[in-house]
Structure 1
């Protein structure tokens, strides 16, 4: 009888151990699943469609000019060795990072280097652009990740958005210019934690026709500083363009409206948007990292 009880006890013990082990395995499996889900949730991608943008980097290409990558190649930025140091994902925060520093890879009419997107309404084509009369809209959510300071202890400046003018081929030939470059009507800076806007004004508001096409007909305005500081946090910028009018909006709370003779006469030019990191320093060892979480363009 005692042996029989011992056998029953042994069987019950084995059954208990087996059930307990199974429960532990299930619990462990559920825990592992939760950890895996948490890991997956941490991986984020920026909300940026690059199919209508080219990018210029601080790298030199084979011809000794600044490297420029157009669609569809730009879509492979995450694996393209030419772009990896200058344009890459921050998958923890869901941002596209643009890194720039002073290099020999500069573009026409500037001494500064950039990791900056250039809008292409038709992918791979710089000759199709828009006018103020046609209208345009750009919105970005971004932040400065890191930026160096100058010898006076002030942060270096960086241009984070632009509207650049462009001559048509006919306008270029009319004034005898060698390229299609026209002045930028809009530059938006991150400067010491604040947002600064600069635009262009005619030196002679009576200028008409061909006179308007020459770069030296235009001068920089005094600039405008938004009141709120953005520092190194996320902020939103919107640029709205219509005939004779340009509006810049910071965080949907501060507005700067340009609606004047200069905007009306700027209508002679075609334009395109730019966004990213146009670094404004040649100091040795200087650099900036600009993060774009979202970027949207409408026409």
Structure 2
């Protein structure tokens, strides 16, 4: 037994020495080359794995879910139920577990979007249509702090129409996806004897049958006084204009930038509509706030729309 064990030990020793000798015979440069090749192979494998997991827009596949890139700290949401129902910060941050909000604003974990679902039901003051729409609040929980054009403001959103019904003529219903809404200060409201702080929306961006349509306001009487232009009926809708690109049901990006007497709207970093002139110089008198989501433009029974937002950001100079 002792001789058999010694024999086995001798074989193992010779095998180890053979491996050592082979490394020595390769030389130092060969060993380094071998190490570099191994490291390169590992790096290539890691890159290949990363490329395999990454989608075109940089999102990572192979995980259980995706979340929208949206901070709701400075937004409240209006729902198409109640009188209507509104949820402000900080409660809006728990929308994913809020049973009242969930039917109308919820995550689609398959593509990382925040879905806004609306249908004809409850309406807000001065309107006839329902909405599931965010309203900017510069001070969370309060509507009383807003911005003017000279202050400067910027909003950017990436979105898509997920689903929308058609009317009796076979055309898709319309939906407003972004707005800049005017607001009277308390002093302006009292000056013209109005019961609320409502002022006209200087910007409405529609999705209409696969196109993005922009509408603004213009003064009926350019010679109206600063007091007279505070009234909603001093302003009229402009003719509106469509971007050349058809977005259909694809994802697209909108940017809205305002400054002193000027408003710019850009679609997909490619085409920009610019508004300025006397009417926009006069608009500097109003406070404003951003809106985004699904302001559904139909009263038809059984109609609805679903709008997906993937990203939404706002900033102020």
TM-score of the two chains, using structure 2 as the length reference = 0.80
Is residue 2:96 matched to residue 1:78?
yes
2:263 corresponds to: 246
1:83-119 per-position Cα deviation (integer Å, ceiling 9, x unaligned): 010000001100000000001x100111100000000
Query: Is residue 99 from structure 1 mapped to residue 117 from structure 2 by the alignment?
Result: yes
In structure 1, list runs of 5 or more residues that go unmatched: 1-37
TM-superposed deviation, 1:209: 1.6
1:267 maps to which residue?
284
- More strand by percentage: 1
The structure with more radius of gyration: 2
Separation of aligned partners in 1, 2:280 and 2:110: 41
Moved over 4 A (4+): none
Q: Distance in 2 between matches of 1:115 and 1:40?
A: 31
Answering whether residue 110 of structure 2 is matched by residue 50 of structure 1, we say no
Q: 1:238 and 1:205 mapped to 2: Cα distance?
A: 29
- Of 155, 169, 172, the match for 1:152: 169
What is the root-mean-square deviation in Å for CA atoms of aligned residues? 1.0
Alignment partner of 1:258 out of 272, 275, 278: 275
Structure 2 residue matching 1:257: 3-state secondary structure? strand
Aligned to 1:136: 153
Q: TM-score, normalised by structure 1?
A: 0.85
Per the alignment, do residues 139 and 39 of structure 1 end up closer, same or farther by CA in structure 2, a change over 3 Å counting?
closer
2:5 is matched with: none
CA distance in 1, matches of 2:110, 2:140: 29
| 1:212/1:268 contact within 8 Å kept | no
Q: CA deviation at 1:40?
A: 5.7
Q: Does 1:183 align with 2:225?
A: no
Please, which runs of 5 or more residues in structure 2 have no aligned partner?
A: 1-59
Match of 1:284 in 2: 301
